């Protein structure tokens, strides 16, 4: 029977051999059955070019295997050895300002460097030949966090690689000029070798250049991954993964990465000082599941504090368990931590671990052991799906495009809006998927587009078809404005959504910092959903950040601005198109000032069922045969209307389920 895999990054090279034996004993005590090994050991296993020292790694691999602990074997290429930098200074990373970055850390290499790539292929080949058929090696952990600190490199080699990438993409430089709109400021190119890498420059750099640079940079990392994966595949049948950083690495377009890996794995760390960090965790997990298209694994999270935030807040009692089980609820089939044993030396010694500096007579160790036990009871969820009737649109390219320079307002932030909409749905106990705007959306009753500034023609058609065929769509302001090259769609805004939304925009009216607007139901507005029995945004709604002059062309106003530059004009509209409905919010609504109400109305209109009576602060997710209830509040609660058996305690509940403060209850049908 399959179980949820449990473990973490294991760095035995930092410890004497006596500790390794203690480690495997403790791993077994905690139920650890998979460890990531050798993620950063290049400088140890290849002390000089072409010279290899396998003494320790051979022994550790044998020891783990002997104790039944599976190995997720790392390729150590995110921390190139000092000898390689010394022999080939040209591999060093050059940042946006043109500074060449020094060594003494990891990741400081140019992703496009042929010298670096060749050295990677060589060490990976050695590892794959030596361990590829070892029965203990169950998974390959290729590299570590592609794009962590070297998403983009601005060296000469990168610039040349960019020109080659452009030539490959556009074939003819006139096609590039057309796509990039280089007639503007006469920034036309006569040959590909005239295009420079967009490092620090005077303001107003062509946004299309910046967007293709970001695509190029992402592709360079994918190429590096493929190189290693293909070397490994020659010698090993074990699947390969690389750890993503969803959603906190803006530079990697993980929709493009998804098809490259055998298993999607993700690293997620709480942004500890955020009060709503458990919601951000859920969002990360839901987005990772969407990228994976099914179950996935968390490759790294922390048992308690990290060491790299301004204030590294420790987890509160029970939080480790709540966080871990939230990942499982949202599709994780593997639960790994960074790292097994807290380091004594180096940059990460103040990072929590499964075995803390304080040893095993600690709350933290007891929590780690208890979690290992809990996971064994959850085998029935392995491989199962998480059902969702609602999708939130997410597109890394739209994120990149929105946050380039010279937008109508600096307050237009991709994650600000996505997180606002996501949090409102989370609090209404609605489990969502994420989806790319060009993806098949027909399985969803409701699709929400909180920040879709850039939409391709294909996405525009897709969203229109979705609504016409009976879908319900909620769109927030400044969406559908440009195409994938940051060129405004022809005609009035929002060109990609004009027909779908049944309106056009005469002028944008961004607000001053801190300015708020009153919104009132349209005097003629009817009841928008039977459940509420009244018009939407009837009372107390307010807008922030944005206002605009909306002109109706098929849609009707549900609510209107009552103050500000667009007083009296539509603020919330509804367009019934074909068999579906498209809603549009022309300003930034927040939970208590209209967003909850708008989404509740749209959910009702779309017929999305929500569990009734779940108290606030309780996260509710259905996965496979199990219902997860995670109480993030400090109040004991009772959830009415649920029945089932608690998987962890065996207690049967007939009508209602008590969930003590900070606890997790998992029911099976």
Positions marked active-site: 145, 300
Span from 141-149, 249-257, 376-384, 436-444 in contact with ligand GAL (CB under 6 A): 141-149
Q: Is 351 in the site for ligand GAL (CB under 6 A)?
A: yes
- Which of residues 158, 267, 324, 601 is near ligand GAL by CB under 6 A? 267
Radius of gyration for the chain, computed over Cα atoms and rounded to the nearest angstrom? 26
**Per CB under 6 A, which region of 140-148, 194-202, 390-398, 552-560 contacts ligand GAL?**
140-148
Residue 144 contacts ligand GAL per CB under 6 A? yes
Per-residue x/- mask for ligand GAL, residues 95 to 134, rule CB under 6 A?
----------------------------------------
Cβ-defined contacts of 193-201 (< 8 Å, 24+): 193/163, 195/162, 195/163, 195/166, 196/159, 197/154, 197/158, 197/159, 197/162, 199/94, 199/96, 199/97, 199/98, 199/154, 200/96, 200/97, 200/98
206-220 per-residue burial string, b: 16 or more CB within 10 A, e: under 16 = bbbbbbbbbbbbbbb
Q: Minimum distance from CB of 243 to ligand GAL (Å)?
A: 6
Q: Which stretch in 25-33, 143-151, 183-191, 549-557 sits in contact with ligand GAL by CB under 6 A? A: 143-151
Nearer to ligand GAL, 162 or 257 (CB): 257
Ramachandran region, residue 118 (left: φ > 0; alpha: ψ -120 to 50; beta: rest): alpha
Give the number of other CB atoms < 10 A from CB of residue 188: 15
With respect to ligand GAL, which residue has the nearer C-beta, 33 or 145?
145
Q: Taking the complex as a whole, how short is the minimal distance between the CB of residue 52 and ligand GAL, in angstroms?
A: 23
Instruction: Write the binding mask 458 to 497 for ligand GAL: x where contact by CB under 6 A, - elsewhere.
Output: ----------------------------------------
Q: Check: CB of residue 224 under 8 Å from CB of residue 146.
A: yes
By CB under 6 A, the residues from 157 to 186 that bind ligand GAL are: none
Q: Which is nearer to ligand GAL, 71 or 306 (CB)?
A: 306
Residue 76 or residue 535: which is nearer to ligand GAL going by CB? Answer: 76
Site size for ligand GAL (CB under 6 A):
10
Q: How far is the CB of 40 from ligand GAL (least distance, A)?
A: 7
Applying CB under 6 A, which of residues 300, 319, 389, 499 lies at the interface with ligand GAL?
300
The residues in 534-563 that bind ligand GAL, with binding defined as CB under 6 A, are none
Task: Considering only the stretches 114-122, 142-150, 222-230, 379-387, report the one whose residues sit in contact with ligand GAL under the rule CB under 6 A.
Answer: 142-150
Residues 136 and 64 sit within 8 Å (Cβ to Cβ): yes
Q: Which is nearer to ligand GAL, 353 or 381 (CB)?
A: 353
Q: Which is nearer to ligand GAL, 38 or 624 (CB)?
A: 38
Q: Are strands 265-267 and 548-552 parallel, antiparallel or unpaired?
A: unpaired
Determine the 3-state secondary structure of 542 from DSSP: strand
Q: Which is nearer to ligand GAL, 348 or 596 (CB)?
A: 348
Sequence-ordered list of residues with C-beta below 8 angstroms from that of 436, at least 6 positions apart, any chain: 255, 393, 394, 395
Torsion of CA 179, 184, 189, 192, to 10 degrees: -40
Cβ of residue 300: shortest distance to ligand GAL, in angstroms? 6
Closer residue to ligand GAL, CB minimum distance, 10 or 399: 10
Work out how close the CB of 307 gets to ligand GAL at its nearest, in angstroms, rounded to a whole number.
Answer: 7
Span from 144-152, 386-394, 493-501, 552-560 in contact with ligand GAL (CB under 6 A): 144-152
Min dist. Cβ of residue 44 to ligand GAL (A):
16
Residue pair 268/298 in contact by the 8 Å Cβ criterion: yes
Instruction: Give the residue with the Cβ less far from ligand GAL, 338 or 421.
Output: 338
Count of C-beta atoms within a 10 Å radius of residue 382: 18
Closest CA to 377 of 13, 14, 22, 31: 31
Output the DSSP codes for 125-165. Answer: HHHHHHHTT-TTEEEEE-SSSTTTTTS---SHHHHHHHHHH
Nearer to ligand GAL, 23 or 438 (CB): 23
Residue 519, beta-bridge partner list: 541, 561
For the CB of residue 484, give the shortest distance to ligand GAL in the complex, in Å: 30
Burial 260-289 (b: 16+ CB within 10 A, else e): ebebbbbbbbbebeeeebbbbbbbbbbbbb
x/- binding map, residues 214-253, to ligand GAL, per CB under 6 A? ----------------------------------------
Q: Tokens in use for 453?
A: 């500034």
CA distances from 36 to 293, 394, 565 (A): 24, 30, 57
Nearest CA among 403, 425, 477 for reference residue 286: 425
The answer to whether 269 contacts ligand GAL (rule: CB under 6 A) is: yes
* Shortest Cβ 351–ligand GAL spacing (Å): 5
The nearer residue to ligand GAL, 60 or 173, going by C-beta atoms, is: 60
Of 373, 372, 364, nearest to 318 by C-alpha is 364
The 626-631 sheet, strands edge to edge: 618-623, 626-631, 664-668, 644-646, 652-653
Q: How many whole angstroms separate alpha carbon 619 and alpha carbon 426?
A: 8
Element (H, E) at 107: none
Least distance (Å) from ligand GAL to the CB of residue 269? 5
Nearest Cα to 38, choosing from 133, 110, 137, 134? 137
Question: Minimum CB separation from ligand GAL for residue 549, in Å?
Answer: 45
Are 583 and 474 a contacting pair, CB within 8 Å? yes
Q: In the complex with ligand GAL, which residue's Cβ is closer, 334 or 471? A: 334
* Residue 272 Cβ vs ligand GAL, minimum distance, rounded to whole Å: 11
- Torsion angles phi and psi, residue 82, rounded to 5: -60, -35
Which of 196, 276, 348, 385 lies at the binding interface for ligand GAL (CB under 6 A)?
A: 348
Let me know if 652 is exposed, middle or buried by CB neighbors in 10 A (0-12, 13-18, 19+).
exposed
Residue 324 CB, nearest distance to ligand GAL (Å)? 16
DSSP 314: P
628 touches ligand GAL by CB under 6 A = no
Block residue for tokens 């109508």: 408
Which residues contribute to the site for ligand GAL (CB under 6 A)? Answer: 144-145, 148, 267, 269, 300, 306, 338, 348, 351
């Amino acid at each position: 029977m399959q179980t949820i895999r449990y473990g973490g990054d294991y760095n035995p090279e930092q410890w004497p051999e006596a500790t390794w034996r203690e480690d495997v004993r403790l791993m077994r005590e905690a139920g650890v059955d998979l460890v990531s090994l050798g993620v950063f050991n290049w400088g140890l296993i290849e002390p000089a070019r072409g010279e290899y020292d396998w003494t320790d790694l051979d022994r550790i691999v044998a020891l783990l295997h002997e104790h039944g602990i599976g190995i997720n074997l790392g390729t150590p290429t995110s921390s190139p050895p000092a000898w390689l930098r010394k022999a080939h200074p040209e591999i060093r990373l050059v940042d946006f300002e043109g500074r060449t970055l020094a060594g003494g850390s990891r990741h400081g290499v140019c992703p496009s460097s042929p010298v670096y790539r060749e050295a990677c292929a060589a060490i990976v080949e050695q590892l794959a030949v030596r361990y590829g058929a070892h029965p203990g090696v169950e998974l390959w952990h290729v590299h570590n966090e592609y794009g962590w600190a070297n998403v983009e490199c601005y060296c000469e080699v990168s610039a040349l690689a960019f020109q080659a990438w452009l030539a490959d993409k556009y074939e003819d430089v006139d096609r590039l000029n057309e796509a990039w709109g280089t007639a503007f400021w006469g920034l036309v190119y006569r040959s590909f070798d005239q295009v420079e890498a967009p490092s620090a420059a005077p303001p107003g750099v062509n946004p299309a250049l910046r967007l293709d640079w970001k695509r190029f940079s992402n592709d360079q990392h994918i190429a590096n991954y493929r190189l290693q994966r293909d070397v490994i595949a020659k010698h090993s049948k074990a699947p390969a993964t690389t750890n993503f950083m969803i959603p906190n690495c803006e530079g990697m377009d993980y929709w493009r990465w998804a098809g490259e890996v055998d298993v999607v794995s993700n690293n997620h760390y709480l942004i500890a000082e955020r009060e709503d960090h458990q919601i951000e965790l859920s969002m990360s997990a839901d987005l990772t599941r969407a990228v994976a298209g099914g179950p996935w694994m968390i490759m790294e999270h922390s048992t308690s504090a990290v060491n790299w935030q301004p204030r590294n807040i420790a987890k509160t009692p029970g939080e480790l368990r709540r966080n871990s089980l939230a990942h499982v609820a949202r599709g994780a089939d593997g639960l790994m931590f960074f790292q097994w044993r807290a380091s004594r030396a180096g940059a990460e010694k103040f990072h929590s671990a499964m075995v803390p500096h304080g040893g095993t007579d600690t709350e933290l160790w007891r929590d780690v052991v208890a979690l290992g036990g809990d996971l064994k009871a959850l085998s029935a969820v392995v491989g199962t799906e998480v059902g969702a009737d609602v999708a939130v649109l997410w597109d890394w390219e739209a994120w990149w495009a929105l946050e380039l320079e010279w937008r109508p307002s600096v307050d237009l932030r991709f994650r600000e809006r996505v997180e606002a909409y996501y949090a409102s749905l989370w609090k209404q106990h609605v489990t969502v998927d994420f989806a790319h705007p060009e993806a098949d959306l027909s399985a969803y009753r409701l699709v929400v587009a909180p920040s879709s500034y850039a939409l391709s023609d294909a996405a525009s058609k897709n969203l229109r078809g979705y609504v016409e065929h009976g879908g319900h769509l909620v769109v927030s302001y400044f969406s559908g404005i440009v195409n994938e090259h940051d060129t405004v769609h022809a005609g009035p805004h929002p060109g990609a959504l004009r027909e779908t939304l049944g309106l056009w925009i005469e002028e944008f009216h961004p607000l001053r910092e801190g300015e708020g607007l009153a919104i009132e139901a349209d005097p003629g507005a009817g009841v928008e959903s039977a459940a509420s029995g009244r018009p939407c945004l009837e009372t107390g709604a307010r807008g922030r950040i944005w206002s605009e002059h909306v002109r109706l062309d098929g849609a009707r106003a549900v609510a209107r601005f009552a103050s500000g530059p667009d007083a009296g004009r539509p603020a919330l509209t509804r367009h019934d198109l074909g068999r579906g409905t498209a809603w549009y919010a022309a300003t930034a609504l927040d939970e208590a000032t209209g967003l909850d109400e708008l989404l509740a109305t749209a959910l009702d209109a779309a017929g999305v069922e929500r569990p009734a009576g779940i108290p606030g602060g309780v996260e509710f997710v259905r996965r496979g045969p199990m219902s997860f209830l995670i109480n993030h509040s400090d109040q004991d609660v009772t959830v009415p209307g649920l029945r089932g058996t608690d998987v962890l305690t065996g207690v049967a509940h007939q009508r209602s389920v008590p969930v003590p403060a900070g606890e997790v209850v998992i029911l099976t049908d």
